[in-house]
Structure 1
Amino acid sequence: MSQTNKLKIFNDPIYGFITIPNELVFDLIQHPYFQRLRRITQMGLSYLVYPGANHTRFHHALGAMHLMQKAVEVLRFKEILISKEEENALYVAILLHDIGHGPFSHAMEQSIVENVHHEEISLLFMNQLNRAFDGKLSLAIQIFKGEYHRKFMLQLISSQLDMDRMDYLKRDSFYSGVAEGNINSDRLIQMLHVVDDVLVMEEKAIYSIEKFLMARRLMYWQAYLHKTSLVAELILTRTLKRAKELTQKGTVLVCSEPFQFFLQNKVDFADFDAIILDKFAQLDDFDIVSALKAWQYQPDFILSSLSKMIINRDLLKIKVSNEKFDKEEIKLYKHKLLEYYPISLAETDYFVFKGKIKTLGYNKVIEPIQILKKDKTVEDVVESSDQLNSRAFSKPVTKYYSCFPKVLIEK
């Protein structure tokens, strides 16, 4: 009787060959919960700006695990003791760190499910998988929750310089073509060390860290918060909210059965039992896109119009500014829109709105990046660097946006 070879390799365009380290990791990758990530894009609707940005969270999870393998190798070379059990737990935790993402994650979190963060759902998936795998994920879950006594292990998974960020910056830069986001992950990983069970970076890495933080800042403003990506996500959020509103008033919308469930029911974190988690696991980007294609032809003007905007990439006009937009100007746009659209004044909120976006290049308070100096002392990277005291890194950058139909400014 033939047995499946579980020690396979993946050919990755970023790193070359990625090896599956053991049978447990193979079985987790094969699980339907994880295979779902093949159908969830890593950068959401950014492909409307960067046509190549169609890579998935499946790609990213494997890449982050590959970097974790390198990190474990480097730390062991530097005589940091990591047991085989801890090693496997690190691989499992980083592999599954994003498993709770829904389709077009951030839009989903703000419309279909309520007050539920993807990390919370990731933990629910991990607990469910732990039951299915006879407790083999227990240590990985302990590390993921920050309950394991060796702090550096959580920092490898979630911190300001973790394997997650190292992969998504390099990967998103590659697929989007935004070269400014490219980082030297090999160099950064080679400079990893541990002091008193806290992750540190050797002083020689200072310029690579500066490049990493600058790349992350540029990727946010040039890719993740690109104004077209932003307005597309805002439109999708409103489309899903409108669909939910209509469904709960009795309108039957064409969509998949799992999607229909979340439209019909109010679901927050407290509701996530095994049944609802399984329904969530059946949702992916394909459910949303196929629904949008059908909703273009719905008699409801709002749902139809918003769906067409995304499908045809004919989006709302968006303006981005360092200053707040005038409330009176927004109010004027809303009243003017009534001349063009067959909707009520209250319903103009779907098409005319404003808001703000904020990013922080580097947080000096929460999990600062620690530099191990030649004299064996440790200090914050901001103190070691002559580049990172700038406003751009240590203080939040806030920008404001307003969105409205182009018909309002066309002559």
Structure 2
Amino acid sequence: MGYKNEKLKEEKVFKDPVHRYIHVRDRVIWDIIGTREFQRLRRIKQLGTTYLVFHGAEHSRFQHSLGVYEIVRRIIDDGFSGRPEWDEEERLVTLCAALLHDLGHGPYSHAFENVFNLDHELFTQKILLGNTEVNQVLQRVSEKFPQKVADVIGKTYPDKLVVSLISSQIDADRMDYLQRDAYYTGVSYGHFDMERILRVMRPAEDQAVVKSSGMHAVEDYIMSRYQMYWQVYFHPVSRSAEVILTKILHRAKHLFEAGYTFGQEPVHFLTFFNKDIDLEDYIALDEGVITTYFQMWTKESDWILRDLSYRFLNRKLFQYVEFNPAAEYRKLHELEKLFKEAGIDPEYYLVVDSSSDLPYDFYRPGEENERLPIFLKMPNSELRELSRSSDIVDAVSGKRRTDHKLYFPADLLEEGKEKNPVYRQILQMLKN
């Protein structure tokens, strides 16, 4: 039979609040789940700092990865299997890519990536191809199998249909995180009729398409995504926590480069600070480790690092006001001068944060990050781009929404305004 096709003697089942059950029948999948690199995902939150707003959002990338795997398994085994457009030889590489697509995420994901200029997809590929337990499992399938899975993650795999199931405008990744994040945050925005979408999804030459009879379920999915981004993912309070988290890491990095002597040497960060990141150090870093450093940094002699760490751990977040960078750049410049005059470093305590989302886009060939649109399969088998049939989707197609906020320590300013007139002046400007 061979390792590639080996089945477990008894099916393994994970109880899941979103999909009810996650089924594992393949030996390869079960062995991957047991590796240290995959188990590490239990210690990385799916939604970063969002738990400071929605207290239920403590779920992990481990849960999400299993969910994406289950959706892809259902698409392949229940929907695509036996259809001429689907190559059964691609089944295992697709399942492995679905399970492993988030393997390279660092702690607090995007904030961490931005500070150290990292790409989680690149680190996913490094883990798949490096001296790791995951690589050893994949090698048992074939010598070239780890590279195949890495190519799907990197979107360079020759079978574009396989890539589209993991990464497209209607993929298993989005279908899981929208529902899972809605469940754990307690909001209703992320719910859509996934069962209907899976029933009408069909394989095509370059991507998965949807039968035209399922158009309204896809409309619902796109609007769910739109609402989740603005009500949950871009929530201004969560963004405040992310601003502080980012500034803690920036400050620690700056102090290290300036030769500052830490009370406890940040050994887990050294290769990150030196921009020579060792794969083993990357794998060893999780949110538990980072939180431990934040606890230690509340005792540091550097006031900024101490204060920001305390704020993050104890949810003493920055306040915010609406801000228009194009129209209010002079105001920002004036505020920066006043902050310096008041003895508050604007680099860490006056921060413009921007969020931007494009809910759906049609095909714009040649443009950067060009998006493959969603196609409906019409009764005559013609493929038609979704926004040509849906007025709802047409209304949001290609329309990018951007939001800017200005974050600042209102508590610090309020406490000091009686003693320092500059504090009062700053507060007055921020209110206007």
Q: Same fold (TM over 0.5)?
A: yes
Cα offsets for 1:188-216 (capped at 9, x unmatched)? 11111123343211101111111111111
Distance 1:57 1:42 in 2: 5
Cα 1:5–1:280 change in 2 (3 A) is farther
Q: Pick the aligned partner of 1:150 from 159, 162, 168.
A: 159
Report the counterpart of residue 389 of structure 2 in structure 1.
Answer: 384
Q: Per-residue deviation at 1:6? A: 7.8
Aligned pairs for 1:257-406 (under 5 A) are: 259-267=268-276, 276-321=278-323, 324=326, 326-338=328-340, 341=343, 343=344, 347-365=345-363, 366-390=371-395, 392-406=396-410
Where 1:47 maps in the other structure, the secondary structure is helix
Where 1:394 maps in the other structure, the secondary structure is coil
Distance 1:206 1:254 in 2: 59
TM-score, scaled relative to structure 1:
0.89
Q: Per-residue deviation at 1:266? A: 2.0
**Number of equivalent positions:** 394
Cα offsets for 1:311-345 (capped at 9, x unmatched)? 1111111123567562232233334434654x5xx
Confirm whether residue 233 of structure 1 aligns to residue 231 of structure 2. Answer: no
Cα 1:131–1:77 change in 2 (3 A) is closer
Report the counterpart of residue 101 of structure 1 in structure 2.
Answer: 105
Report the counterpart of residue 136 of structure 2 in structure 1.
Answer: 132
Distance 1:7 1:262 in 2: 42
Cα offsets for 1:220-247 (capped at 9, x unmatched)? 1111110011111111111101001112
Where 2:394 maps in the other structure, the secondary structure is coil
Do the aligned partners of 1:255 and 1:287 also contact (CA within 8 Å) in 2? no
Confirm whether residue 168 of structure 1 aligns to residue 177 of structure 2. Answer: yes
Do the aligned partners of 1:318 and 1:401 also contact (CA within 8 Å) in 2? yes
Report the counterpart of residue 90 of structure 2 in structure 1.
Answer: 86
Q: Pick the aligned partner of 1:31 from 35, 41, 45.
A: 35
Cα 1:8–1:77 change in 2 (3 A) is closer
TM-score, scaled relative to structure 2:
0.85
Cα 1:256–1:162 change in 2 (3 A) is farther
After superposing the two structures, state which structure 1 stretch, 91-100 or 320-329, moved more: 320-329
Where 1:110 maps in the other structure, the secondary structure is helix
Q: Per-residue deviation at 1:393? A: 3.8
Distance 1:191 1:330 in 2: 51
Where 2:393 maps in the other structure, the secondary structure is coil
Confirm whether residue 58 of structure 1 aligns to residue 34 of structure 2. Answer: no
Unaligned 5+ segments in structure 2 are 1-7, 364-370, 418-432
Distance 1:278 1:161 in 2: 34
Do the aligned partners of 1:6 and 1:22 also contact (CA within 8 Å) in 2? no
Report the counterpart of residue 207 of structure 1 in structure 2.
Answer: 216
Cα offsets for 1:47-84 (capped at 9, x unmatched)? 00000000000000000000011100233356245455
Do the aligned partners of 1:86 and 1:139 also contact (CA within 8 Å) in 2? no
Report the counterpart of residue 184 of structure 1 in structure 2.
Answer: 193
Report the counterpart of residue 422 of structure 2 in structure 1.
Answer: none
Task: Give the AA of the match of 1:316.
Answer: F
Ranges of 4+ aligned residues in structure 1 off by more than 6 Å: none
Distance 2:323 2:216 in 1: 31
Distance 1:241 1:159 in 2: 33
Distance 2:414 2:382 in 1: 60
Distance 2:357 2:389 in 1: 23
Unaligned 5+ segments in structure 1 are none
Question: What is the RMSD of the two structures over their aligned residues, measured on CA atoms?
Answer: 2.3
Cα 1:321–1:385 change in 2 (3 A) is farther
Where 1:174 maps in the other structure, the secondary structure is helix
Where 2:22 maps in the other structure, the secondary structure is strand
Q: Per-residue deviation at 1:143? A: 3.0
Cα 1:331–1:142 change in 2 (3 A) is closer
Task: Give the AA of the match of 1:318.
Answer: Y
Q: Pick the aligned partner of 1:17 from 18, 21, 25.
A: 21
Q: Pick the aligned partner of 1:71 from 61, 69, 75.
A: 75
